[in-house]
Structure formats: C-alpha cells, structure tokens
Amino acid sequence: MTSLIASDHNPDDLRRRESPVFMSGNLPPDVPEVFDARYGAALDSALSRRSPSRLIGAHQYRGSDRDRAAGAAFTGRRLGTTPTPERVVVANGTQSILIQLLSGLVPRGGLIAVEGLTYPTIRTFVQTLGIDVAPVAMDGEGIDPEAFEQVCRTRRPAALYTMPTLQNPTTVTMSTDRRRAIADVCRRYDVSVIEDDIYSLLPTDAPPPLSAYLPELSWYVLGTAKSIAAGLKVAYLVAPDEESAKARFWPGVRSTYWMVAPINAAVMSSLVEDDGATAIIDAVRDEIRARHELVTDALAGIDHRTTPESLHVWLPLSADRTAADLAAGALAAGASIGTSDTFYFGTGTAPEAVRFGVGAPPDRAALERGLTAVRHAYHR
C-alpha cells in the first residue's frame, strides 16, 4: 500500500531554501533547544487537562475562560495592570484582529490614520474594506503629534493604527512623552487607537504601550508571531471594555474566521501559566542579540537603523541610490530584502530605503551569507 504520509518538505518555506537567503520576511529566529522542550510540555499539559473532544468540539468566539485569563496575564505584562479577562479576545493571529477591528471601527468610505511607512498588509485590508488612509508624518520618535493633530482636525479619522514600539519598518520606538502626546490628541478628537504591539516583547526596556495612556479608546493587540513563533497562531486583543469586546467578536457578526484553534490557545495558556512563554521569549532575545553582533560587523560604516532587540534593520539610502537597485544587487548576490515602496502610504515617491529581517534566516551562518550579499550590493 502506498503510504499517505509524504515527507514534511514544505515548498513554501522560503526560510529554509539555500539561496537566496530569506531576509525580506520578519520572523523570530528558531530557538529549538528551548522551544521544543517548552512547547512539548505545554502540549502535554493542555491535553491532560481536557479530552481532545471536549477541547476541540465547540466554537470559541472570544476564547475560553482559561485562555482569556492567560491572555489577560500575558498582556498585563506590557500594560502594567492586568485587564479583566472579559476585555480579552483570543484570536488566530494579529491580522484577523486587525481586519475585524478595521471593519468594525471605520465605516466604508471612512478614514484611518496610519504612520507614513507601515505594515503593508494594512493596504490590502483597507482596499478590501473600502476605507481611506491618511498617512501621518513621522520623525525619529514615530508619529509627529502636530502632523497628527492636523490630520485629525482637517480629515477626522475614525481610528489610528500604530506600532509605537520597534515600528515596522523604521524600527522607531516612541518615547513615553510622545505616547502621552499622541494619546492626548486621540482623546481630544475622539479617535480610537488600534495599537499593534507585536515587536514589544523582545526589548527589555520598551515603554508602556500607548494604550496604557488611553484605555478608554484603545484596542490593544499583542500577537505572539514575532516573539514566540509565526506558526503558533495566537494573538490577544484587549478591548476598551467588556461590552465592546463582545459586540465586535460574537456569533451575531456572522463570521468566525478570527477564532483561534482551541489546541493552539490551550498550549499558549499552558506556556503563560508555567512561564514557558517567558523562557522562549528570553531565548529568542538572546539569539537575536547574538545575530545583531554579526549585523554590526557587516554594516560597519553603513548608515542604518536598528536596535539589538529588533527583528529587522532599516537602511535608508542616499539620493543617488534606489532601493530597487540595492535589492536587485542583493538578490543577485544571494539575499532577498524588502524595499521601502511596499511600506509607503504617502503621496509621491517613497523615501529610498530597504528593510531586512535578522531573525528570518535559519541560522547564523545563513544570516552571515545574507549580510555579506547586502554589504556587497551596497558597495557595488
């Protein structure tokens, strides 16, 4: 009989192909020595608590009580206080939460404010939903409060989507004062905030989330894809209050696509309860710091923006060099990297820059090969 079990080769796993080294994506590095043991223990624990049929047999619109309590504990580490579990929604990833919030908070034909350079998927979502975008100018601390206030006064956005910590793609982190200033503008113009804090768990000194200064208007999203594993597919949302969490994520909206697979949520709850999540995040942080030593060496003399706990590097180019040219050169030399136009929401042309991931290559040797290719292309 022919075996139905094929090899576990995955043709879409760009990360593991030999060439070009995959640096256009932004994944946390593999840390198998910690991850495998802690994930395995959490899986055993999840399966020992409930039978698979009880665990998996029902829809979970906002997550089980246990999973929302774990989400409250996990997000509470960032928020400074633990939210009530009733405000928490457990979902299958940040993207699902974002599209549900965009469609719920911004009417068709309405406006969302975003950082001038931001997460490209937002473009796909707003186009699908028929929402307009107001890009806001940024400086070395992220969104410029005066430019934001001007947008609020003249264009009245319903919401702001922002990444205050290790912003994608610029790696900028807003200071505490800047967070307060943006929160103040939101309060004065009644603008809801969708805060995507996905890169915040690797730095040990990240300021409190913007949402901590604006709990009544903030939808705080903390996914695990950038700090634990991209395929875990668990993200938490903290809504402004219990009623609004229920109103947006319940059977009456007639969709279920955001719902987490119960086994994933249960494993993550075990990881929160037994501190396995902390152990994995610590190991990811150690590995990313070690990789940044290679980045510092390879990019010596090249102006770039990053921090030792950032998953990505932003490399602005001088006027005589285009991002497309550098990316083509890097590809020819063996590394795939991203160009600024993908992230740009402004009018006119994007500032010339490239972004590449430090955690995406499967190991340090592959990262070194990729960095050599970027360096080579830069100096061509």
Ligand X SMILES: Cc1ncc(COP(=O)(O)O)c(C=O)c1O
* Interacting residue ranges for ligand X, rule: CB under 6 A: 26, 93-95, 119, 163, 168, 196, 198, 223, 225, 235
Q: Which is nearer to ligand X, 313 or 377 (CB)?
A: 313
Instruction: Give, as one character, the DSSP assignment of residue 160.
Output: E
Nearest distance, CB of residue 119 and ligand X, angstroms: 4
Q: Which is nearer to ligand X, 169 or 207 (CB)?
A: 169
Nearest distance, CB of residue 300 and ligand X, angstroms: 27
Residue pair 116/148 in contact (Cβ under 8 Å)? The answer is no
Nearest distance, CB of residue 87 and ligand X, angstroms: 19
Axis crossing angle, helix 145-155 with helix 176-189, rounded to the nearest 10: 10
Nearest distance, CB of residue 168 and ligand X, angstroms: 4
Q: How far is CA 190 from CA 103, 216, 292, in A?
A: 18, 10, 40
Nearest distance, CB of residue 92 and ligand X, angstroms: 8
Q: Which is nearer to ligand X, 333 or 354 (CB)?
A: 354
How distant is the alpha carbon of residue 84 from its chain centre?
23
Nearest distance, CB of residue 256 and ligand X, angstroms: 16
State how far the Cα of 362 lies from the Cα of 360, in Å rounded to an integer.
6
- The residue number with the shortest CB distance to ligand X is 93
Q: Which is nearer to ligand X, 26 or 340 (CB)?
A: 26
State how far the Cα of 333 lies from the Cα of 326, in Å rounded to an integer.
10
Residue pair 169/314 in contact (Cβ under 8 Å)? The answer is yes
Q: Which is nearer to ligand X, 26 or 270 (CB)?
A: 26
Q: Which is nearer to ligand X, 93 or 276 (CB)?
A: 93
Q: How far is CA 229 from CA 124, 160, 232, in A?
A: 23, 27, 5
Q: Which is nearer to ligand X, 117 or 333 (CB)?
A: 117
The two three-digit tokens of residue 34, written as one number: 């910690």
The two three-digit tokens of residue 19, written as one number: 């060439």
Nearest distance, CB of residue 297 and ligand X, angstroms: 26
Length of the chain: 380
Residues 6+ apart with CB under 8 A from 27: 15, 225, 226, 230, 311, 357, 359, 360
